[in-house]
Amino acid sequence: MKRFLIIGHKAVTEGGFSLNDMPGGAGRMDVLCRCVNSCFFLSHDLRRDVECYLLLLGEPNPPKTILIKGNEVRYLNPDERSAGSLIKKALQVVCGEEFIESTKGIYIRNGGLERLLNEIDFSVLDENGTDIRSVEEIPENYILSDHMNFSEEEESLIKDLPKISAGPKVLHADHTVIVILNEHDRREK
Amino acid sequence: MKRFLIIGHKAVTEGGFSLNDMPGGAGRMDVLCRCVNSCFFLSHDLRRDVECYLLLLGEPNPPKTILIKGNEVRYLNPDERSAGSLIKKALQVVCGEEFIESTKGIYIRNGGLERLLNEIDFSVLDENGTDIRSVEEIPENYILSDHMNFSEEEESLIKDLPKISAGPKVLHADHTVIVILNEHDRREK
- In this complex, is the C-beta atom of B80 within 8 Å of any C-beta atom belonging to chain A? yes
**Chain A residue with the nearest C-alpha to that of B21:** A81
CB A184 within 8 A of CB A48: no
Other C-beta atoms within 10 Å of A80: how many?
28
- B125 a known binding residue? yes
- In this complex, is the C-beta atom of A92 within 8 Å of any C-beta atom belonging to chain B? no
- In this complex, is the C-beta atom of B77 within 8 Å of any C-beta atom belonging to chain A? yes
**Beta-carbon separation of B42 and A170 below 8 A:** yes
Return the sign of the alpha-carbon dihedral for residues A184, A185, B2, B4.
negative
- In this complex, is the C-beta atom of A118 within 8 Å of any C-beta atom belonging to chain B? no
For an interface test with A, the pick among B175, B181, B187 (most A C-beta atoms closer than 10 Å) comes out as B175
CB B170 within 8 A of CB A43: yes
Distance CA B30, CA B23 (A): 5
**Beta-carbon separation of B170 and A42 below 8 A:** yes
The pLDDT of residue A32: 98
Mean pLDDT by 10 residues, chain B (189 residues): 98 98 98 98 97 98 98 98 98 97 98 98 97 98 97 98 98 98 95
pLDDT band at A75, cuts 50/70/90? very high
The CA-CA-CA angle for residues A55, A60, A61, to 5°, reads: 55
Residue B124's H or E segment, with its range, is strand B123-131
Distance CA B89, CA B79 (A): 16
Domain boundaries B2-188, CATH class: alpha beta
- To the nearest whole Å, the CA of A126 is away from the closest chain B CA by 12
Distance CA A158, CA B17 (A): 45
For an interface test with B, the pick among A28, A37, A43, A76 (most B C-beta atoms closer than 10 Å) comes out as A43
Distance CA B184, CA B42 (A): 14
**Beta-carbon separation of B30 and A166 below 8 A:** no
The pLDDT of residue B189: 79
**Beta-carbon separation of A179 and B182 below 8 A:** yes
pLDDT band at A129, cuts 50/70/90? very high
**Chain A residue with the nearest C-alpha to that of B33:** A79
Beta-carbon pairs below 8 A across chains A and B: 90
- To the nearest whole Å, the CA of B122 is away from the closest chain A CA by 22
Known binding site for S-adenosyl-L-methionine: residues of A? 125
**Beta-carbon separation of B172 and A22 below 8 A:** no
A77, A81, A178 ranked by CB distance to B178: nearest: A178
Q: What's the mean per-residue pLDDT of chain A? A: 98
- Provide φ and ψ at A109, rounded to 5°: -150, 165
Q: Residue A127: is its pLDDT beyond 90?
A: yes
The pLDDT of residue A158: 98
**Beta-carbon separation of B20 and A79 below 8 A:** no
**Chain B residue with the nearest C-alpha to that of A23:** B79
Distance CA B145, CA B124 (A): 9
Sheet strands side by side (includes A2-8) = A100-103, A106-110, A64-69, A50-56, A2-8, A141-145, A123-131, A163-165
Tell me which amino acid residue A182 is. N
Residue B107's H or E segment, with its range, is strand B106-110
Q: Residue A189: is its pLDDT beyond 90?
A: no
